[in-house]
C-alpha cells in the first residue's frame, strides 16, 4: 500500500515537472525574449583597406607619418603608448635629428625625480623614452574622463577584434542617437540612448562610449605631404599608424612567411622525388612477380582451363 502511494506521489511530481516544461517551453517559442539594443544596433567594422592588409601587405611610410601626426596632435592628449619608444620613429622615415626634435618638443613630459629634493617631477622626453601617458595613473585618468579609462594605444589594434578596421570605424562611426536609424530603419529606443557624458557609436560594444569624437572636422591637422585631411583620411592614417605601433615588424613577418612557403614548396618537390627514387625498384618487383599480378593470374587461369581443372 505504501508503495502504491509512493508511486502516485512520484508520478505527481513527474507530471508537474513535465507540465511546467511544456508550458514554459511553448511560451518561450511563442513570445521569444526581447533582444538587447546591442543586437539591433551594433555594427561590425568597415574595411579601412590599409596597405598593410593581407599576406603581401606593406606599410605606406608616408601614411604612417600622417597617422603619427594625428596621434601626436589629437590622441596623445588622452592616450599614451607605453610600448613604443621615440627612437622607433626612424622606422617611419624620420631622420635622427627630426626624432630628437619630436621627443624634445613632446607636449607631455616624462615622470622624473627632482635631483635636489627627490620629489616627483617631470622632464622633457628623450629619444630613448616611451610615449608618455598624459595621466600619472589610472585613477587620475578616470577622474579626468568621466570615470572611463583611455586605454594605452600601443597594442590596441591587436587587443580588439579586427583591430585596424575597428579603430577606423570607431573614429568615423559617431552618430546622433536621436536621428540614428539602423539598416531596418529602427530608431534607437530611449533606454539605449547615451546617458550624460557618453556618446552614441554603433561600433562600440555597448553603443555608448565615453570618448568624445576626437576627429570632428576636415583639416583638423595639416598634413606636411599635402594630403587632404578629411575625417575619413585622418581616421585611416591613425589606424595604419596603430597597426605599425602594435607590430612594427609586420613586413618582416610577411616576407618570412613567403620565404617559408617557397622553402616548403621546394622541400615538398624534393621529398616527392626522393620517394619515387627510393621505392622505384620495390614497386617494379611487386608488379612483375607478385601472385596477385593480373597478368600472372590470367596465365594461371588459362593453364587451369587448358588442363580442365575447375576453380
Binding site for ligand HEC (CB under 6 A): 70, 74-75, 77-79, 145, 148-151, 156, 160, 167, 170-171, 209-212, 214-215, 238
* Nearer of residues 6 and 219 to ligand HEC, judged by Cβ: 219
| Shortest CB 60 distance to ligand HEC, Å | 18
Nearer Cβ to ligand HEC (196/281): 196
Q: How far is the CB of 74 from ligand HEC (least distance, A)?
A: 4
Choose among 133, 149, 131, 77: nearest CA to 245: 131
| Minimum gap (Å) between residue 211 Cβ and ligand HEC | 3
C-alpha cell at 133: 601617458
- The whole-angstrom separation of Cα 224 and Cα 230 is 14
Cβ closest to ligand HEC, residue 152 vs residue 254: 152
Long-range contacts of the stretch 177-186 (C-beta < 8 A, 24+): 180/41, 182/40, 182/41, 184/40, 186/40, 186/41
Smallest distance, ligand HEC to C-beta of residue 77, A = 5
> What is the helix, strand, coil percentage profile of the chain, to 5?
50, 5, 40
* Residues 161/167/169/173 CA torsion (nearest 10 deg): 120
Would you call 197 helix, strand, or coil by DSSP?
Answer: coil
| CB 150 to ligand HEC: min, Å | 4
Q: Which C-beta is closer to ligand HEC: that of 224 or that of 267?
A: 224
Q: Please tell me the distance from the alpha carbon of residue 251 to that of residue 57, in angstroms, as a whole number.
A: 7
- Give me the least distance between CB of 31 and ligand HEC, in Å please: 34
Residue among 146 and 249 whose Cβ is closer to ligand HEC: 146
DSSP state of 229: -
Nearer to ligand HEC, 127 or 227 (CB): 227
Q: How far is the CB of 79 from ligand HEC (least distance, A)?
A: 5
Taking the complex as a whole, the smallest distance from the CB of residue 166 to ligand HEC amounts, in Å, to 7
Residue of 288, 27, 6, 48 whose CA lies nearest to 172:
48
Q: Can you say whether residue 203 is alpha, beta or left, with left for phi > 0 and alpha for psi between -120 and 50 degrees?
A: alpha
The least CB distance from residue 139 to ligand HEC, in Å, is 14
Q: Which is nearer to ligand HEC, 89 or 246 (CB)?
A: 246
**Minimum CB distance to ligand HEC smaller for 59 or for 133:** 133
Residue 153, phi then psi, degrees to nearest 5: -95, -5
Closer of 121 and 162 to ligand HEC (Cβ): 162
Q: What is the rounded distance in angstroms from the CA atom of residue 37 to the CA atom of residue 192?
A: 6
On whether the CB atoms of residues 47 and 40 are closer than 8 A, the answer is no
CA distance 246 to 213: 23
Residue nearest to ligand HEC (CB): 75
Question: What is the C-alpha to C-alpha distance for residues 8 and 58, in angstroms, rounded to an integer?
Answer: 76
Amino acid at each position: 500500500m505504501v508503495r502504491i502511494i509512493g508511486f502516485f506521489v512520484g508520478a505527481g511530481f513527474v507530471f508537474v515537472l513535465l507540465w511546467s516544461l511544456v508550458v514554459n517551453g511553448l511560451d518561450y517559442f511563442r513570445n521569444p525574449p526581447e533582444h538587447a539594443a546591442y543586437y539591433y544596433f551594433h555594427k561590425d567594422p568597415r574595411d579601412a583597406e590599409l596597405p598593410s592588409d593581407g599576406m603581401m601587405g606593406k606599410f605606406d611610410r608616408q601614411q604612417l607619418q600622417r597617422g603619427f601626426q594625428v596621434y601626436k596632435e589629437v590622441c596623445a592628449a588622452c592616450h599614451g603608448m607605453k610600448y613604443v619608444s621615440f627612437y622607433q620613429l626612424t622606422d617611419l622615415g624620420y631622420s635622427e635629428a627630426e626624432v630628437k626634435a619630436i621627443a624634445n618638443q613632446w607636449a607631455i613630459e616624462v615622470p622624473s625625480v627632482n635631483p635636489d629634493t627627490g620629489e616627483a617631477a617631470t622632464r622633457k622626453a628623450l629619444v630613448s623614452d616611451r610615449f608618455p601617458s598624459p595621466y600619472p595613473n589610472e585613477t587620475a585618468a578616470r577622474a579626468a574622463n568621466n570615470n572611463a579609462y583611455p586605454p594605452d594605444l600601443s597594442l590596441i589594434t591587436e587587443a580588439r577584434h579586427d583591430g585596424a578596421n575597428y579603430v577606423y570605424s570607431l573614429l568615423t562611426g559617431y552618430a546622433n542617437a536621436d536621428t540614428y536609424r539602423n539598416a531596418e530603419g529602427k530608431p534607437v529606443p530611449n533606454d539605449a540612448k547615451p546617458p550624460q557624458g557618453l556618446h552614441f557609436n554603433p561600433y562600440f560594444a555597448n553603443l555608448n562610449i565615453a570618448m568624445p569624437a576626437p576627429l570632428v572636422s576636415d583639416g583638423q591637422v595639416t598634413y606636411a605631404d599635402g594630403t587632404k585631411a578629411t575625417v575619413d583620411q585622418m581616421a585611416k592614417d591613425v589606424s595604419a599608424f596603430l597597426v605599425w605601433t602594435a607590430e612594427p615588424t609586420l613586413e618582416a613577418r610577411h616576407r618570412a612567411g613567403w620565404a617559408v612557403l617557397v622553402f616548403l614548396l621546394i622541400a615538398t618537390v624534393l621529398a616527392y622525388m626522393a620517394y619515387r627514387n627510393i621505392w622505384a625498384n620495390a614497386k617494379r618487383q611487386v608488379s612483375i612477380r607478385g601472385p596477385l599480378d593480373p597478368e600472372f593470374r590470367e596465365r594461371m587461369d588459362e593453364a587451369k582451363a587448358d588442363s580442365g581443372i575447375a576453380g
